[in-house]
């Protein structure tokens, strides 16, 4: 993982390839892990001929209102049931693997963990599906608009009791969490602010699948929030929150932790906090600057995050190809500690080093084995490894190791590991060296074994 203290020259300037620091699989793989779920052959080829700015634009400049995958919903009627948690989880896994814009799903996952809402309490799976859809549509737009929409979202109204927050009997749950976990952070408000902010959020209830304002339930009296007085309503309350100096720093820190490094320096936070203000809380242009920066492409940021179970499972499956059974991925992620739609609490998944322990490491290695061997109906259509080998014109054991370490490890392999992998491919069952011959038997044993070995390396656990 990355160094503790970054020493990066001009960290906020755009990174440009040079003779000393050229465009490379290492740079491309880093970008694809952070903005997608990992590298695939097709995405590597696409980004190899693109400038950094072009690659970032390709990833992020999708139209959230145009979604070809949603056309499948009618065709899948009877199979796709938005009132069943497993069905919605499977649909999301399918989208992560098949969307032409994986970044849209990565952004939705980011917000699912920031505005953590669980179907366990919401008890309405369609509301949860609709909330994820909202994250897909609004995830790269205005943070102000997103924050307003979240506060009126039926799943959130149930999750933090906003639907019971009425004039005369304010419920403080959402008011407290919107400050502590969504916008400002602990220590940025007083109890009086919680009570008064709750009054500003009164009156919202659910009709059908929409959050609506019941005027009779709204407290239109004067309130005092952060020392300011007025008859603040929901939107005015959001503007008050975003006017606090802690707000842009809070969001900037979360964006940096997710996309650059889990421990950003204060100077990094301050810079992107100011950019959020300069760009009127529009998330996409700020994220584009962040992803294009020398900070992002630094050695400090490279493989500095531990992959979440979803990143691990989706990234590996996308790299191998074939048609996986989404229920297999869903269950694997849940076993490793990330059950989509069921974050553990209002803070979401802690992530980072909590993803790795003696049990989950074994589960990760076993997942790699299952994905590589594909012997137990994990795939509806197995990966065509023979076609992959042919596509890359692999002739020797060295070719094989080069191509798979490029795909899974950006080609960044220590000599000792590379020698170990090559020796494994060349040796027979008795660990005796033999003439390498790429036939069906080798593909079904050595190639699959090589994939498993690579997926079991420490570096592969890092994003």
Q: Are 460 and 454 in contact (CB under 8 A)?
A: yes
Coil, strand or helix at 175: helix
Q: Measure the CA–CA gap between 461 and 312, rounded to whole angstroms.
A: 7
pLDDT digit string (tens) for 6-36?
789 999 999 999 998 899 999 999 999 999 9
Average pLDDT over residues 374-394: 93
Tokens of 118: 């669980």
C-alpha 160/C-alpha 95 separation (Å) is 28
Q: With beta carbons less than 8 A apart as the criterion, state whether 184 and 246 touch.
A: yes
pLDDT tens digits, residue range 422-460? 999 988 766 666 677 888 888 888 999 999 999 999 999
Number of neighbours of residue 56 by Cβ within 10 angstroms? 23
| Confidence at residue 432, expressed as pLDDT on a 0 to 100 scale | 62
What is the arithmetic mean of pLDDT over 319-324?
Answer: 96
List, for residues 129-156, the tens digit of each pLDDT value.
999 999 999 999 999 999 999 999 999 9
Q: Using the predicted structure, report yes or no on whether residue 309 has a pLDDT greater than 70.
A: yes
CB count in 10 Å sphere of residue 195: 16
CA dihedral sign, ordered 16, 22, 23, 24: negative
Where is average pLDDT lowest: 236-250, 328-342, 414-428, 433-447? 433-447
Q: How much is the pLDDT for 52?
A: 95
Whether 264 contacts 285, CB under 8 Å:
no
DSSP 355-372: G-SHHHHHHHHHHHHHHH
pLDDT above 70: percentage of residues in the chain: 97
Taken as a whole, the chain contains a residue count of 463
Tell me phi and psi for residue 396, to 5 degrees. Answer: -125, 170
Return the pLDDT at 2. 43
Q: Do 425 and 450 meet the contact criterion of CB atoms below 8 Å apart?
A: yes
pLDDT digits (tens, 9 = 90+) for 208-240: 999 999 999 999 999 999 999 999 999 999 999
Cβ atoms of 457 and 316 closer than 8 Å: no
pTM: 0.96
Torsion of CA 427, 432, 435, 439, to 10 degrees: -40
Look at 69-78, 260-269, 349-358 and tell me which has the smallest mean pLDDT. 69-78
Per DSSP, helices labelled H in 228-339 are: 234-243, 246-259, 266-278, 283-292, 309-320, 326-336
In whole numbers, what is the pLDDT of the chain averaged over residues? 95
């Amino acid at each position: 993982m990355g160094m503790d203290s970054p020493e990066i020259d001009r960290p906020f300037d755009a990174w440009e390839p040079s003779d000393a620091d050229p465009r490379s699989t290492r740079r491309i793989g880093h970008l694809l892990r952070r903005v997608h779920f990992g590298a695939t052959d097709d995405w590597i080829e696409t980004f190899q001929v693109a400038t950094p700015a072009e690659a970032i634009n390709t990833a992020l400049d999708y139209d959230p209102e145009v979604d070809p995958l949603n056309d499948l919903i009618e065709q899948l009627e009877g199979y796709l049931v938005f009132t069943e948690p497993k069905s919605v989880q499977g649909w999301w896994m399918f989208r992560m693997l098949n969307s032409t814009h994986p970044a849209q799903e990565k952004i939705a996952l980011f917000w699912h963990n920031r505005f953590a809402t669980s179907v366990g309490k919401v008890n309405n799976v369609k509301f949860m599906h609709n909330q994820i859809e909202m994250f897909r549509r609004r995830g790269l737009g205005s943070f102000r608009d997103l924050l307003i929409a979240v506060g009126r979202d039926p799943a959130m109204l149930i999750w933090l009791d906003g639907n019971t927050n009425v004039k005369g009997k304010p419920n403080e749950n959402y008011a407290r969490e919107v400050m502590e976990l969504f916008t400002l952070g602990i220590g940025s408000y007083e109890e009086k602010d919680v009570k008064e902010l709750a009054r500003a959020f009164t009156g919202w209830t659910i009709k059908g699948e929409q959050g609506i304002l019941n005027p009779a339930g709204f407290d239109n009296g004067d309130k005092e929030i952060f020392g300011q007085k007025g008859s603040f309503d929901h939107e005015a309350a959001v503007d008050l929150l975003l006017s606090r100096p802690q707000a842009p720093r809070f969001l900037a820190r979360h964006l940096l932790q997710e996309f650059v490094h889990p421990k950003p320096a204060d100077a990094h936070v301050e810079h992107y906090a100011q950019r959020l203000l300069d760009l009127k809380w529009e998330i996409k242009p700020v994220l584009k600057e962040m992803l294009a920066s020398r900070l992002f492409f630094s050695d400090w940021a490279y493989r500095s995050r531990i992959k979440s179970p979803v990143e691990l499972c989706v990234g590996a499956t996308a790299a191998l190809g074939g048609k996986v059974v989404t229920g297999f991925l869903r269950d694997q992620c849940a076993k490793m500690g990330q059950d989509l739609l069921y974050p553990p609490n209002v803070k979401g998944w802690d992530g980072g080093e909590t993803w790795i322990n003696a049990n989950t490491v074994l589960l990760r290695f076993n997942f790699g084995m299952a994905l590589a061997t594909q012997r137990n109906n994990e795939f509806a259509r197995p990966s065509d490894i023979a076609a992959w080998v042919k596509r890359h014109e692999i002739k020797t054991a060295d070719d094989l190791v080069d191509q798979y370490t490029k795909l899974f490890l950006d080609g960044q392999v220590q000599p000792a590991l590379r020698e170990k992998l090559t020796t494994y491919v060349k040796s027979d069952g008795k660990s005796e060296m033999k003439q390498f011959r790429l036939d069906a038997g080798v593909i079904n044993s050595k190639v699959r074994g090589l994939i498993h070995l690579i997926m079991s390396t420490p570096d592969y656990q890092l994003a």
